[in-house]
Amino acid sequence: MTDLGGYHDNVARIDLSEGEVAYEGIDDEDAKKYIGARGLGVKYVFDQGPDVDPLGPDNLLAFMNGPLTGTQVTMSGRIAICTKSPIAGQVTDSHHGGWSGARLKWAGFDGLLFEGQADDPVYAYIEDGEVELRDASHLWGKGVHDTRDTIEDEIEGQYGKNLSMMAIGPGGENEVRYACIVNEDDRASGRGGTGCVMGNKNLKAVVVKSSTKMQKPADQETFREGHKQAMQLIQESEVTAPNEGGLSMYGTNVLMNVTEEMDGLPTKNGKYTSTRSMRESEGGDIDAEGVSGEYVRENILVDEPTCHSCPVACKKEVEVQAMHKGDEMNVRMESFEYESAWALGPNSGHTDLDDSVLMVDKCNNLGVDTIDAGNTMAMAMEMTEEGKFDDLGDGIDWGDSQEMIEMLERIAHREDELADHLANGPKHLEEEFDAQSNSLAVKGQTMAAYDPRAMKGMAIGYATSNRGACHLRGYTPAAELLGIPEQVDPAEHVGKGELCATFQDLHAISDSFDICKFNAFAEGIEEYVLQYNGMTGLDVSEEELIQAGRRIYTLERYYNNLAGFDGEDDTLPNRFIEGHEEAIPAQGGSEGELAELDEMKEEYYEVRGWVDGVVPDDRLDELGIEVGPGTGVTSGDDSQAPADD
């Protein structure tokens, strides 16, 4: 039990197999060590056992908020969903914004722990500290948007006022490995296959109804000082300043032109490092400018909604008239994010804006991750070009956006043999078609819109991310592109191991609070400590809070070690690695660059205190991680725990 401020000390454990709900408190020591949201969620998943089948009844699906969720803290509307990933069996956590995290807190919960498998489709209804399982048979087969509308009609509540929904679409129901969970505002917990796990459990949706019951800080004076400093920094930042900063004006897609201009935008499955390079080599009209934040704002922006307690309003609602199968379709959706625009656009060999918007909207409705969906189709295009799908028909052609729209439906419903293969993701394609050379995945999860040849921090970040290739585990582009907290040379590999580990630890903290990472473009550890101490009533130092971030990141790595992962899995796609015979050097402003991965890994492991990607037992002791059997590795021993034991 914990009596810290910011917690309800109330977690619901829902046994879907038995249809039973039990309520429990939070261990006080765990709350202090792992904070909440991501950290505490991963601890619950760890306690369930690293050897569970991701698509079995014993896998835990944890919906978690943190001690700052739903408070006055800026950008505190996020929620973490933690589980063992069906992509490759690693631990994963996936977050989304909007209002569902705040409403879960206001409804009286720190978290919901789903285990087992329902015999028939159900959804969970949460109100006033109670969880009720309701029949969802009539919702099964519906897209997220129809599910949203049907639930609102059935419940005396209204989205935008007192109701939130987190649901899966056909992608989750049919266990697409990269299926996601989407809320009523098209905010997605996109990565890691959380929607696939939810579908396997026959859980269609989690619905929360609540009034605004914001928790008060335990130490008002300390909290007030931290909040004041944070707000001032956000308002002064060139990135976050409301109605002025790049993120506020153009959303996340402010980065499209930035990465294009520095030749750091992976294009055509990462063969090129910008659309300009592809255009100069192959011709055609591909141009990243046409899907950029600036172009979006000038041409298709219709609204700028925001999440709970956020003055930045990075969400950009857009509207287009898209043509598909000869019919004109009106598409209005929230929102056209940088990663989505890239994966379903330039990296797939086209920059048709209307079709890209339609594809993002379709991914949201089908409940599949836009990044993995786009990258998997780009991988399939390259495999088609090489004849690897000759036995399955025509495959899928480069840059054919109309064909991509069709393929998304086929993947989500596993309509045919090719779509079924693509639904199983890059790791399956690598193994089934000897397609390692075509994959942009690390630990089964595909990379994001930052080229590791041009940004060396992202190279080591993709390689060492615990949940698979990811830009959000340690967002080094903050320093490499935006100069936050200071400008570093993106092409320099020395020092990037330490930089990456620092960002990873800081993001583990913010993900556990759970607040948006974008606050880190303005705030620092001082503001984090003041607001955390003020809310909880604790008196932790900056170093103690950073140590909590290290502990959380290390617990995740320890889980992965016990699940069979080690340093061999901390790698990059061949085309990006210096010295590899299949490497493709960058062009333009980053001409000739490749990722010096071995050197960066050596530096990174030294900073982490790991041995060949494995957490030694003495490092677990140093961080106070007192669970599990240990890995059998020590810092002074080159031996390594058996990968499968």
CB 189 within 8 A of CB 47: no
Question: Residues of the chain with pLDDT > 70: what percent?
Answer: 99
CB 12 within 8 A of CB 23: yes
Alpha-carbon dihedral of residues 266, 268, 271, 275, nearest 10 degrees?
-60
Is the pLDDT score of 640 beyond 70? no
Is the pLDDT score of 323 beyond 90? no
Report the C-alpha gap between 446 and 442 in whole angstroms.
6
Instruction: Give the residue carrying structure tokens 């996020």.
Output: 78
Is the pLDDT score of 641 beyond 50? no
Report the C-alpha gap between 21 and 384 in whole angstroms.
49
The pLDDT assigned to 168 comes to: 98
CB atoms within 10 A of CB 618: 15
* pLDDT tens digit sequence for 123-166: 999 999 999 999 999 999 999 999 999 999 999 999 999 999 99
Torsion sign over Cα 179, 183, 184, 186:
negative
Report the C-alpha gap between 97 and 505 in whole angstroms.
21
Q: What is the 3-state secondary structure (H, E, C) of 245-314?
A: CHHHHHHHHHHHHHHHHCCCCCECCCCECCHHHHHHHHCCCCCHHHHCHHHHHHHCEEECCCCCCCCCCC
Q: Which of 439, 373, 369 is nearest to 406 (CA)?
A: 373
> Do β-strands 163-167 and 181-183 pair in parallel, antiparallel, or remain unpaired?
antiparallel
Question: Residues of the chain with pLDDT > 90: what percent?
Answer: 96
396 vs 389, 427, 510, CA distance in Å?
A: 9, 19, 40
Report the C-alpha gap between 205 and 562 in whole angstroms.
31
Is the pLDDT score of 638 beyond 90? no
Residues 595-602 have a mean pLDDT of 98
The pLDDT assigned to 301 comes to: 97
If 0-12 CB within 10 Å is exposed, 13-18 middle and 19+ buried, where does residue 387 land?
exposed
Structure tokens at 237: 């930042």
CB atoms within 10 A of CB 161: 10
The pLDDT assigned to 639 comes to: 46
Report the C-alpha gap between 376 and 379 in whole angstroms.
5
The pLDDT assigned to 326 comes to: 86
Report the C-alpha gap between 135 and 130 in whole angstroms.
17
The pLDDT assigned to 365 comes to: 98
388: enclosing H helix or E strand: none
Q: Which of 117, 3, 10 is nearest to 65 (CA)?
A: 10
Q: Which of 630, 603, 602, 629 is nearest to 618 (CA)?
A: 630
Residues 307-317 have a mean pLDDT of 96
Report the C-alpha gap between 142 and 521 in whole angstroms.
38
Q: Which of 481, 500, 508, 526 is nearest to 95 (CA)?
A: 508
Alpha-carbon dihedral of residues 294, 244, 472, 508, nearest 10 degrees?
-170
The pLDDT assigned to 325 comes to: 84
Is the pLDDT score of 642 beyond 50? no
Torsion sign over Cα 239, 242, 246, 248:
positive
Assign 337 to helix, strand or coil.
coil
The pLDDT assigned to 645 comes to: 36
Share the mean pLDDT of the chain. 96
Residues 183-207 have a mean pLDDT of 97
* pLDDT tens digit sequence for 380-421: 999 999 999 999 988 999 999 999 999 999 999 999 999 999
Residue 335 binned pLDDT confidence (cut-offs 50, 70, 90): confident
